[in-house]
């Protein structure tokens, strides 16, 4: 971040520097507090997931250098000599040095994502679990409710000291899911965010906590965006016909009966 802020403070008229918050488990107030804490002066925008999807975001920070014509010249993760070279090249006069910008990882354009809310039916989709199986959202022959649990494998451990309330909610949701899943009243799928996580991370999470429900890694973030989920933990409950009945997130997670009530309600 100091490197990023320095680039902003020293950039001339040929370079616009913009910070993008992923919008994942962050509110506007969180972003403002962070900005004050670090003394950041550059403009900051809050992503709704579309930019992260378009740029194939997997880790932060991610640096994207874009030329005058709108062409992406560099995508990288480290504040190093390659980033500095890309910044120097993009600020050169038109037609000078642009070809020398170091190539980074190509960004991918995301297709338009349909969003699903309470009252909609789950899509005809079958995410692949980390065990290689397919979990069908809609199974006409099975009248049980469907519960999609949105999580991150690092939530309980990584956030334990920096954001203990969020970490506690992740633990609480996992414990509730473990208890309810054993009763067999619903079909369950844990959907893990692809930010800062790999399939091996998700397997380690399953082994560490003894998670019994099937788990799928949403590497592109498409499922999180489709169901308008921008925080963990969260849960979505649908009936046996795939119609979404309720979502549980935020303060609802702190009420132990919320998830059970949503599953058992007529």
pLDDT in tens, the chain (266 residues): 889 999 999 998 889 999 999 888 888 998 999 999 999 999 999 998 888 888 888 888 999 999 988 999 999 989 999 999 999 999 888 765 544 445 554 444 445 678 999 999 999 999 999 999 999 999 999 999 999 999 999 999 999 998 999 999 999 999 999 999 999 999 999 999 999 999 999 999 999 999 999 999 999 888 999 999 989 999 999 999 999 999 999 888 888 789 999 999 88
CA atoms of 45 and 198, how far apart (whole Å): 27
Contact 223, 195 (CB under 8 A): no
What are 105's strand-pairing partners?
A: none
Looking at the domain that runs over 145-264, which CATH code has it been given? 3.40.30.10
Indicate the length of the chain as a whole number: 266
> What is the chain's alpha carbon radius of gyration, rounded to the nearest angstrom?
21
Distance of alpha carbon 165 from its chain centroid, rounded?
A: 19
What does residue 111 show for φ and ψ, rounded to 5 degrees?
-75, 165
Closest to 51 in 3D by CA, of 18, 27, 77: 18
The tokens 């962050």 sit on which residue?
26
145-264: same fold as 2-100?
Answer: yes
Write down the domain spans for the chain.
2-100, 145-264
The predicted pLDDT at position 26 comes to 86
The predicted pLDDT at position 218 comes to 95
Q: Does domain 2-100 have CATH number 3.40.30.10?
A: yes
């Amino acid at each position: 971040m100091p490197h990023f802020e320095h680039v902003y403070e020293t950039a001339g008229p040929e370079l616009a520097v913009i910070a993008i918050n992923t919008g994942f488990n962050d509110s506007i107030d969180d972003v403002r507090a962070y900005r004050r804490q670090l003394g950041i002066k550059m403009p900051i925008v809050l992503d709704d997931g579309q930019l992260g999807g378009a740029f194939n975001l997997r880790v932060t920070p991610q640096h994207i250098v874009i030329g005058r014509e709108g062409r992406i010249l560099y995508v990288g993760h480290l504040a190093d000599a390659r980033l500095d070279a890309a910044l120097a090249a993009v600020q050169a006069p038109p037609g000078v040095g642009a070809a020398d910008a170091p190539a980074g990882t190509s960004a991918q354009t995301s297709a338009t994502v349909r969003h699903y809310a309470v009252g909609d039916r789950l899509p005809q989709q079958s995410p692949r679990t980390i065990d290689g199986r397919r979990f069908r959202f809609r199974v006409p022959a099975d009248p049980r409710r469907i519960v999609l649990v949105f999580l991150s494998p690092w939530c309980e451990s990584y956030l334990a000291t920096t954001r203990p309330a969020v970490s506690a909610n992740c633990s609480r949701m996992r414990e509730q899911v473990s208890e309810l899943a054993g009763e067999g009243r619903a079909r369950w799928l844990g959907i893990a965010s692809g930010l800062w996580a790999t399939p091996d991370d998700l397997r380690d999470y399953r082994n560490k906590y003894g998670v019994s429900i099937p788990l799928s890694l949403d590497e592109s973030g498409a499922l999180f965006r489709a169901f308008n989920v921008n925080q963990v933990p969260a849960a979505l409950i649908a009936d046996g016909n795939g119609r979404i009945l309720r979502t549980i997130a935020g303060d609802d997670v702190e009420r132990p009966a919320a998830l059970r009530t949503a599953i058992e309600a007529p």
